[in-house]
């Protein structure tokens, strides 16, 4: 957080800058929250059997608490976000964590509390990679409290104001009394953490930053979270301006949130790149995931996950979405999307996959195996001709045969979709619609290849009539063959086109979660 001073008329107002976690304006005195720090004693235990059962009972008790927290949270933040506490229950069931704690008790003859502490440290790295460090420690602290007979995490503030904390656990966010906590300034954490998701869900204005100090505690402040700014000791002029802004913001927010669960004729889904985004999608009330760019799962580690790893990821996302549709696009490597050491030899999307059947089959197997955990659709990128879809179908027959022989279950009605993102695909869309179960129009590449532009660098007219015409043609052809069609490229999130797309008969729009409520508003007005 950068410190900037704005000394005006001898006043001391100064500005702290951070990153937006949750939009909105909050006013009040700065109040601090510090989590109770547990000192975990390491004790020598003779009777390890009793100690193991202390641990097992504590885990069962914690699961019960989390189930209650889940059920209570549904009414405040909705079922989807409450699922975070379902994830905490899953952490308690995590084999590595559970078995490590038991082994430590048995082998090192140590007390359950210390075993939980050690086991948490050992699995922390793996959870950290998924950005879930706070979740594992939240669960660990729950176990400490149960084992040590302490029922309260720390002194959550009782007075009204803007809360300053090092970080917050998801369960702490749920315990905050929003009639008192008007805003949050976090020193540590990430805007994509579960705590951040819950803060957004509870609509508490919040920012995150690195250089905040406790010096501001007790001072009057205004948090303009959307701008990522904290005004400490604001002057009268700033207060008046912020009051005005808050009034306008509050009115807009109310209007958008009223629409979160509004039903619209056109399906409104979210585009995501990983399972954390899936939570964001649920947070804004997406009807499902219209596009999961699977290649994004390889970017962080720069490797393609194994079939088993993919299965776990896909299964996790399907479970999180709890029966809502999840469309996973098969690897779309090529051009700007590649990973170290992967030579695509100029082949993109489906052509790269068909040229690497072993790799492709691993993904299809993982997808099919995961399909029993939710409502899965598979989408093929960069399709340019009918025979590409037919070749995939042949491969899928092999995959199904293999899985049947291995006795592995899969959903027998998975829809197979084709991306329409090359002019060729749009032009042969009538024939393609006979092979595919649905279409998803990728306007990013469709614009690039139709207009001859470089989507990363060139400026172009995104509303070019040629693009509109290709979309219209695709919708018409899809409907003539009785299949639905969605738009998942950036144009889907362009609210100036929403009514045009509705008029064309588009069945679904899939947009980034941050655009979803705005498009929901447009769709609502369009029907
Ligand atoms: C598109 O091309 O519009 C699309 C959705 O795919 P991507 O942006 O991943 O290329
Ligand atoms: Mg594309």
Q: What are the DSSP calls for 289-316, one per residue?
A: EEEEEGGGGGTTTTSPPPHHHHHHHHHH
Is the sign of the CA dihedral 424, 425, 429, 431 positive or negative? Answer: positive
pLDDT of residue 338: 74
Query: For 202-237, what is each residue's pLDDT tens digit?
Result: 879 999 985 666 667 788 999 999 999 999 999 999
- Of the pLDDT bands very low, low, confident and very high (cuts 50, 70, 90), residue 132 is confident
Confidence of residue 458 (pLDDT cuts 50, 70, 90): low
Q: How far is the CA of 443 from the centre of ligand 1 (A)?
A: 7
The least confident of 51-65, 247-261, 429-443, 490-504 is 247-261
Residue-wise pLDDT for 493-504, tens only, equals: 888 999 999 999
Tokens of 23: 């939009």
Q: Given this model, what pLDDT does residue 178 score? A: 85
Is the alpha carbon torsion for 399, 404, 408, 414 positive or negative? Answer: positive
Helices 275-283 and 194-201 meet at what angle, rounded to 10? 10
**What's the CA-to-centroid distance between 422 and ligand 2, angstroms?**
9
Which residues have C-beta within 8 Å of that of residue 253, sequence separation ≥ 6?
23, 24, 203
Highest mean pLDDT among 66-75, 190-199, 316-325: 316-325
- Name the residues around ion ligand 2, CB cutoff 5 A: 421, 442, 445
* C-beta of residue 41 within 8 angstroms of C-beta of residue 116: no
Residue 293 in contact with ligand 1 by CB distance below 6 A: yes
Is the pLDDT at 2 greater than 60? The verdict is no
Q: Please answer whether residues 147 and 54 qualify as being in contact, where contact means their C-beta atoms are separated by less than 8 angstroms.
A: yes
In this structure, the strands spanning 485-487 and 508-511 are parallel
Answer yes or no: is pLDDT of 4 > 70: no
Question: Radius of gyration (Cα) for the chain, nearest Å?
Answer: 26
Select which of 194, 267, 269, 298 is catalytic: 194
488 pocket-lining for ligand 1 (C-beta < 6 Å): yes
Whether residue 488 lies in the annotated active site: yes
Between CA 286 and CA 292, with CA 291 as vertex, the angle to 5 degrees is 105
Mean pLDDT of the 496-524 span: 92
**Mean pLDDT, range 446-466, rounded to an integer:** 83
Element (H, E) at 28: strand 25-33
Instruction: Give yes or no for residue 162 having a pLDDT over 80.
Output: yes
- Which pLDDT belongs to residue 198? 82
The 3-state secondary structure of 225-285 reads HHHCEEEECCCHHHHHHHHHHHHHHHHHHHHHHHCCCCCCCCEEEEEECCHHHHHHHHHCC
């Amino acid at each position: 957080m950068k410190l900037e001073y704005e000394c005006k008329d001898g006043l001391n107002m100064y500005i702290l800058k951070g990153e937006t976690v949750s939009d909105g304006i909050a006013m009040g005195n700065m109040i601090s929250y510090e989590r109770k720090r547990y000192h975990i004693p390491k004790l020598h235990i003779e009777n390890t059997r009793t100690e193991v059962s202390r641990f097992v009972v504590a885990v069962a008790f914690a699961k019960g608490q989390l189930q209650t927290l889940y059920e209570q949270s549904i009414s405040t933040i909705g079922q989807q976000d409450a699922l975070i506490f379902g994830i905490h229950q899953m952490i308690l069931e995590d084999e590595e964590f559970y078995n490590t704690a038991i082994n430590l008790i048995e082998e090192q003859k140590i007390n359950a509390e210390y075993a939980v502490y050690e086991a948490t440290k050992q699995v922390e790295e793996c959870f950290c990679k998924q950005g879930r460090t706070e979740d594992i420690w939240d669960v660990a602290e729950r176990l400490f409290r149960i084992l040590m007979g302490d029922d309260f995490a720390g002194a959550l503030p009782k007075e009204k104001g803007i809360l300053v904390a090092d970080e917050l656990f998801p369960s702490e966010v749920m315990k905050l009394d929003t009639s008192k906590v008007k805003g949050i300034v976090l020193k540590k954490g990430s805007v994509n953490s579960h705590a951040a998701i819950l803060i957004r869900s509870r609509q508490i204005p919040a920012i995150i930053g690195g250089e905040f100090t406790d010096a501001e505690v007790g001072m009057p402040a205004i948090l303009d979270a959307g701008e990522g700014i904290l005004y400490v000791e604001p002057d009268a002029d700033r207060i008046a301006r912020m009051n005005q802004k808050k009034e306008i913001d509050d009115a807009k927010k109310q209007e958008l949130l009223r629409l979160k669960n509004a039903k619209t004729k056109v399906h409104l889904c979210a585009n995501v790149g990983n399972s954390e985004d899936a939570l964001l999608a649920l947070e804004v009330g997406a009807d499902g995931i219209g596009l999961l760019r699977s290649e994004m799962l390889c970017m962080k580690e720069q490797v393609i996950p194994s079939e088993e790893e993919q299965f776990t990821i896909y299964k996790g996302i399907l479970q999180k979405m709890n029966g809502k549709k999840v469309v996973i696009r098969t690897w779309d490597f090529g051009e700007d999307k590649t990973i170290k050491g992967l030579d695509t030899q100029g082949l993109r999307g489906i052509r790269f996959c068909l040229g690497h059947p072993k790799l492709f089959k691993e993904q299809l197997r993982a997808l099919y195996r995961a399909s029993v955990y939710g409502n899965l659709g598979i989408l093929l990128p960069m399709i340019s001709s009918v025979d590409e879809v037919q070749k995939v179908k042949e491969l899928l027959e092999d995959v199904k045969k293999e899985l049947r022989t291995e006795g592995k279950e899969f959903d027998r009605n998975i829809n197979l979709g084709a991306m329409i993102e090359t002019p060729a695909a749009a032009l042969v869309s009538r024939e393609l619609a006979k092979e595919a179960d649905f279409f998803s129009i990728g306007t990013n590449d469709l614009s690039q290849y139709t207009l001859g532009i470089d989507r990363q660098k060139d400026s172009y007219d995104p509303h070019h009539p040629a693009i509109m015409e290709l979309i219209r043609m695709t919708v018409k052809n899809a409907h003539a063959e009785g299949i639905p069609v969605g738009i998942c490229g950036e144009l889907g999130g362009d609210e100036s086109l929403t009514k045009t797309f509705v008029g064309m008969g588009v069945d679904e729009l899939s947009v980034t979660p941050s655009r979803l409520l705005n498009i929901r508003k447009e769709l609502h007005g369009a029907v």
